Chain A
Amino acid sequence: MMDPASLRAIALRQFRRSWVGQVGAILVVLFLIVTVLAPLLAPYDPIATDFANVLSPPTRTHPLGTDDIGRDILSRVIHGSRVSLQAGLFTVAVALTVGLPLGLLAGFRGGRVDDLIMRGIEVILSFPTLVLALGITAVLGPKLIHALFAIGIVFVPHFARLIRAQVLTVKENDFIAAAEALGASDVRVMRLHVLPNCLAPILVQSSFSIAFAILTEAALSFLGLGTQPPTPSWGIMLAMGRGYLEQAPWLGAFPGLAIFVTVLGFNLLGDGIRDALDPRLKT
C-alpha cells in the first residue's frame, strides 16, 4: 500500500495539471478575497441611498451603475458575496453536522441502524430539493437563516450517503481489523482511522454543495423568501433588476454575473479535486 504522503503528492500533481481545477481555484480564491476585504474594496456604503443618482448607468463614479434608490451596484455586489459565502458555509456545516455522524454510524454499524438511517435518507431524497427548501421556508417564515437551514437539511442525505459508502470501503481494510483487534473502541476507530479516509470525498462534495447552496439561496432570495432587504444579496438584486429590465438592464446583469462566476468557480474546483483524487471519474 502506498503511503498517504505520496498519494497526496500524486493528487496535487494531477490537480496542477487540470486547467478545470485551476480555473476553479482561482475563481474561488478571488471570491474569498472579495468577501474578506469587502468593506475595504467597496467604494460606497452598500445600503446608502443617493436620490440624486438613481438608475445611473455604469460611469466612472459608479462603475456598475446605481439602482432605483441610488445605491452603488458595485458596492452591493461586493457586499453580496458575504451573504453567498455565509449561505455556502452555513448549509454545508448543517449538512455535515447531521450527515457526518449519520453516515459514519450507518456505514460502521450496518444492520438495523443502517437500514433505519438509509430509509430516513430516502424519505428526504423523495422531495425535489427546492420544493422541500421552499416548504420549510414557507412554514418557518421568510428569513435568510430559515432558508439556509432548509437548504442544509436538504443536503444532509447527500453527505450521509457519501460518507456511508466511503466507510463501507474503508472498513474492509486490514488496518481497521488490526485496530479493532488491539482493542480500539468504535469511536476511536471511526475518529482516527475511518474519518481521515473520508475527507477527500467530503471536500469534493462540499465544493459542489457550496455552489448549489449559493444558487439556491439566490433563488430563494429572488423569490422573496431568503435574504430580506436592505441586506445586499445577489438574489434580491436580481429580483429588483427584473423590474427595470428594459430601462436599466445593468441592475440585474452584474449580480447575475457574480452568481454565475462564483458557482462556476466552486463547480470547477469540485471537478478538479475529484479528477485529481480519482482520474477514472474524469468526464
Chain B
Amino acid sequence: MIQFVARRLLATVPLLFFVSVVVFSFVHVLPGDPAILFLGEEATPETLAQFRARLGFDRPLSTQYLEWLGRAVRGDLGRSLRTNQPVTEAILQRLPVTLELLGAALAVSLAIAIPAGIVSAVKRNSGVDLASTVFALVGFSLPNFWLGLILIYVFALLLRWLPPSGFVPLPAVADNAKSLILPALTLGTALAALVTRQLRSGMLEVLRQDYVRTAQAKGLSQGVVVGKHALKNALIAVVTVVGLQIGGLLGNTIITESLFALPGVGRLMIDAVFSRDFFIVQGVVLFLAVGYVLSNLIVDVLYSYLDPRIRLG
C-alpha cells in the first residue's frame, strides 16, 4: 500500500509541473494583452509600458516563469491588481465557505443517492425503481443554475422557509445550515443522479453473484445480505463516480456561489474575471487544479484500499 501511494505521489510531481506551465501561460502566452485588458484600449503606450515594467512583464518569459514558480511553491501567488491583497490570503479567507459547500453538497447527494440506489436495485422494476431511474436520468440533465432559481423561487420567495441568498458563517449553526441547504441541493442534485444510477447497476451486478446467493441460502436476512455483503462491494462504484465528478463539483461551485452570493473561492474567481484581476484568476485556477489533482490522488488511494486488485495490478 505504501509503495502504491509513493508511486502515485511521484507521478503527481511532473503533472503538477505541467499544470503550473499551463496556468502561467494563461496570462502570458494566450492572445490578449493583460496590460490592454486591464487598462483598456485607450491607455497610452507609456502607461502600458509602465504597467508591464511594474509587473515584470517586459522580462524574458522563462525568467518570469521560474520566478513565479519559485514564489508559488512557497505559497506566494502574487497580489491582487485591484486591492493589493496577497492572492493566497484572499483564497484562504474564502476557502472555508467553498469547503463547507462542497461537503454539504456531497452529503446531500449521498443522502439521496444511497437509499435510492439500494431500494431501486432491491425492488427492481417496481414503482420506486422507475421513480429513481427517472430521477437519475433527469437529475443529470438539469442545469444547476436553473434548479437553483427554482429552489429559490419555491423555498425562499413562495414559502419563505429559507434565505434566497447570502451566507451565515459558523458558529451560528442553525443559520449556517439554513444558508447552505439550497446551495447544497443545487450543487448536489446532478451528483445524486449519477450516484443513484451507478449504485443501482453496481448493486444489481453484486446481487447476482454467487456469494450473495450463498448468504441468502444460509438464511441471512435481506437487510444483512444487502447491507453487509452487497452494499460494501457496490460502494466501489460510488467511490469511482464521486471521484470522477470532483472536477464537475469544483467547477459548479463557481456557478452556485455566484447564484447564492456565497463568499467562496468560486465567487472570488468570477469577481476577478470581471474586474480583470489576472493574478487572482491565475491563482484560483492553479489552486483549484492542484486541489483537483490531489483529490484525485486521494480517491485513487481510497479506491485501491477498497479494491486491492488495483494496487496489485
Picked from A124, A219, A238, the residue with its CB within 8 Å of the CB of B149 is: A238
Q: How large is the interface on B (under 10, 10 to 19, 20 to 34, 35 or more residues)?
A: 35 or more
- B contact residues around A264 at 8 Å (CB): 137-138, 141
Cα-based distance from A259 to B143 in the complex (angstroms)? 7
> Do the beta carbons of B15 and A123 come within 8 Å of each other?
yes
Q: Is A130 in contact with chain B by the CB < 8 A criterion? A: yes
List of A residues within 8 angstroms of B200 by Cβ: 283
B273 touches A123 (CB 8 A): no
Question: Which of chain A's residues has its CB closest to B198's CB?
Answer: A283
**Contact for A225 among B246, B273, B289, CB less than 8 A:** B273
Check A263 against B149 for contact (C-beta < 8 Å).
Answer: no
B280-301: contact bitstring with A at CB < 8 Å (1 yes, 0 no)? 0110110011001100000000
Instruction: Output the nearest chain B residue to A266 by Cβ-Cβ distance.
Output: B141
- B 141-180 binary contact with A (CB < 8 Å = 1; else 0): 1110110011011000100000000000000000000000
Complex formed: what's the CA distance from A224 to B271 in Å?
11
Q: How far is the CA of A268 from the CA of B133 in the complex (A)?
A: 12
Q: Which residues of B contact A268 (CB under 8 A)?
A: 137
A126 to B37 alpha-carbon distance, docked (Å): 27
Q: Are A259 and B146 in touch, CB under 8 angstroms?
A: yes
With A123-B18, A260-B143 already in contact, 7 other A-B pairs whose C-beta atoms are closer than 8 Å: A127-B22, A129-B251, A130-B254, A135-B23, A222-B145, A263-B141, A268-B137
Interface presence of A48 (CB below 8 A): no
Contacts of A223 in B (CB 8 A): 254-255, 258, 270
Interface set, chain A 101-131, CB cutoff 8 A to B: 119-120, 122-124, 126-131
Contact of B285 among A132, A238, A257, A267 (CB under 8 A): A132
**CB pair A256 B146 closer than 8 Å:** yes
B149:A260 contact, CB within 8 angstroms: no
Closest Cβ neighbor of B142 among chain A residues: A260
Judge whether A249 is part of the interface by a CB distance below 8 angstroms.
yes
B219 interfacial by beta-carbon distance below 8 Å = no
Stretch at the interface among A39-47, A136-144, A196-204: A136-144
Known: A219-B145, A283-B197. A136 touches B289 (CB 8 A): no
Count A interface residues, CB 8 Å.
46
Across the interface, do B143 and A131 meet the contact criterion of CB distance under 8 Å? Answer: no
Q: Which B residues contact A (CB, under 8 angstroms)?
A: 14-15, 18-19, 22-23, 26-27, 30-32, 34, 37, 137-138, 140-143, 145-146, 149-150, 152-153, 157, 197-198, 200-201, 246-248, 250-252, 254-255, 258-259, 269-270, 272-274, 276, 278, 281-282, 284-285, 288-289, 292-293
The one of B141, B145, B281, B289 that contacts A138, using a Cβ cutoff of 8 Å: B281
**Do A242 and B149 touch (CB < 8 A)?**
yes
Taking a contact as CB atoms closer than 8 A, the residue among B149, B251, B281 that contacts A130 in the complex is B251
Assuming the contacts A134-B254, A136-B26, A139-B30, asked whether A238 and B18 have C-beta atoms less than 8 A apart, the reply is no
List the B side residues contacting A256 at CB < 8 Å. Answer: 143, 146, 149-150
Choose among A124, A225, A246 the residue with the greatest number of B CB atoms under 10 Å from its CB. Answer: A246
Who on chain A is nearest to B144 by CB?
A219
* Complex interface bits, A254-278 against B, C-beta within 8 A gives 1, otherwise 0: 0011011001100110010000000
| Shortest Cβ gap from A248 to chain B (Å) | 11
Determine the distance from Cα of A260 to Cα of B150 in the docked complex, in whole angstroms: 13
Asked if A167 is at the interface of the complex by the 8 Å CB criterion, the answer is no
Contact partner, A246, options B157, B259, B282, Cβ 8 Å:
B157
List, sorted by A's number, 26 A–B pairs whose CB atoms are closer than 8 Å.
A123-B19, A126-B15, A128-B251, A129-B247, A131-B285, A131-B288, A131-B289, A134-B251, A134-B254, A134-B269, A135-B285, A136-B26, A137-B273, A139-B26, A139-B27, A139-B30, A139-B34, A139-B37, A225-B273, A256-B150, A259-B143, A260-B141, A260-B143, A264-B137, A283-B197, A283-B201
In Å, the complex CA distance between A283 and B129 comes to 13
Report the separation of the CA atoms of residues A170 and B200 in the bound assembly, to the nearest whole angstrom. 32
- Contacting A128 at CB < 8 Å: which of B22, B153, B250? B250
Closest CB in chain B relative to A59 CB, distance in Å: 21
Query: Counting CB contacts under 8 A, is A187 at the interface?
Result: no
- Closest Cβ of chain A to B159, distance in Å, is 13
Residue ID in chain A nearest B274 by CB atoms: A224
How far apart sit A219 and B149, CA to CA, in the bound complex (Å)?
A: 13
Shortest B97–chain A CB gap in Å is 17
Partner of A140, one of B15, B31, B255: B31
Nearest chain B residue, comparing its CB with the CB of A267: B141
Shortest CB distance A160–B (Å): 16
Contacts of B289 in A (CB 8 A): 126-128, 131
B149 touches A139 (CB 8 A): no
Residue of B nearest to A235 (CB): B145
Residues of B within 8 A of A222 (CB): 145, 255
Complex: A129 Cα to B245 Cα, angstroms: 10
Contact B293 A241 (CB under 8 A): no
B184: min CB distance to chain A, Å: 18
Query: Closest residue to B23 on the A side, CB-wise?
Result: A135
Q: Is the CB–CB distance between B143 and A263 below 8 Å? A: yes
